[in-house]
Amino acid sequence: MASKALQSVLRYFDRRHGELLVGGIPVSHLAAGHPTPFYVYDLSVAREKYRLLRQALPQEIEIHYAIKANPHPEVIRFFNRLGLGFDVASVGELQTAMQAGVAAESCGFAGPGKSLSELEAAVRSGVGSINAESERELELINEVSHRVGVRANVSLRINPAFELKSSGMRIGGGPQPFGIDQEELPRILTQIPKMTGIRFVGFHLFAGSQNLKASALMEFLAFPSSFSRIS
């Protein structure tokens, strides 16, 4: 039996005589014209899924596309035309996005283990947010900012004390190698005004993936009162 994720995608594709159609074209016809194996994408499906997501969310919420999901330049250009922002996790992804016409300020630079050269490239480009994973990374960003003469937009990635239920991979709810522990936030927030190379723009939360339960996501986004008092 197909997984729930696969089922949610396949319902957007038609079949004819038991054969899958992509963009209305039988896959056998596509295979006849291209060396196999190959990838084929139906961007009309992507457009429809984006429409449904946009319709379900308040207009003040921006939607970002994670380039690591598919870094093909045409896919990036497609989502850029729709007005999405972008999440990048490396300098290579940032460069790919910018070469596809994406403005750096619409990108968020995420991911642990950023190198000094990556931080410098991100600061120089003027990305919308560098998601800092630790107090040390904050210090490095501040140092880089002063060295290159560009003030950096920075969000703090939080390791929350609560977890996202029903996730295939959980990142939160206790000690983790990702992000700043929730308990450390009050102290670190008092240090940020002293880092004059940093412009604080908000928080970054990623507590789990492979979650298809809306109720679990709603519960997580409601935030326990302990976090609300900190933020």
Q: pLDDT tens digits for 170-219?
A: 454 455 567 788 888 899 999 999 999 999 999 988 766 666 677 777 77
- Residues 34 and 55: their CA atoms lie apart, in Å, by 37
Which three-class secondary structure state does DSSP give residue 9? helix
Of residues 72 and 1, more confidence is placed in 72
Lowest mean per-residue pLDDT among 1-10, 61-70, 111-120, 121-130: 1-10
Q: What's the chain's average pLDDT?
A: 86
Percent residues over pLDDT 70 in the chain: 84
State the pLDDT confidence band at 70, using cuts at 50, 70 and 90.
Answer: very high
pLDDT for res 230: 43
* Whether 204 contacts 155, CB under 8 Å: yes
Mean pLDDT of 20-44: 93
Mean pLDDT over residues 99-121, rounded?
95
pLDDT surpasses 70 at 168: no
pLDDT at 164: 63
Name the residue with higher pLDDT: 4 or 50. Answer: 50
- Summarised one tens digit per residue, pLDDT across range 116-154 is 999 999 999 999 999 999 999 999 999 999 999 999 999
Pairing verdict, β 15-16 and 19-22: antiparallel
Residues in contact with 8: Cβ distance below 8 Å, sequence separation at least 6, in sequence order: 212
Largest pairwise CA distance in the chain: 67
Task: Report the pLDDT averaged over residues 50-57.
Answer: 94
Predicted local distance difference test score (pLDDT) of residue 64 = 96
The first and second tokens of residue 203, run together, are 């928080």
Question: What's residue 81's pLDDT?
Answer: 97
Whether 187 contacts 138, CB under 8 Å? no
Helix, strand, coil shares of the chain, percent, nearest 5, are 45, 20, 35
Domain boundaries, the chain: 110-230
Between 15 and 152, the more confident residue is 152
Find out whether 108 and 67 touch, Cβ atoms under 8 Å: no
- Going by C-alpha positions, the residue among 118, 185, 127 that lies closest to residue 158 is 185
Average pLDDT over residues 152-171: 72
* Whether pLDDT at 42 is above 60: yes
- Confidence category of residue 37, pLDDT binned at 50, 70, 90: very high
Choosing among 3.90.105.10, 3.20.20.10, 3.90.550.10, 3.50.50.60, the CATH entry for 110-230 is 3.20.20.10
pLDDT-derived band at 226 (thresholds 50, 70, 90) equals very low
**Mean pLDDT across the stretch 100-122?**
95
Residue 82 CA to residue 50 CA, distance in Å, equals: 9
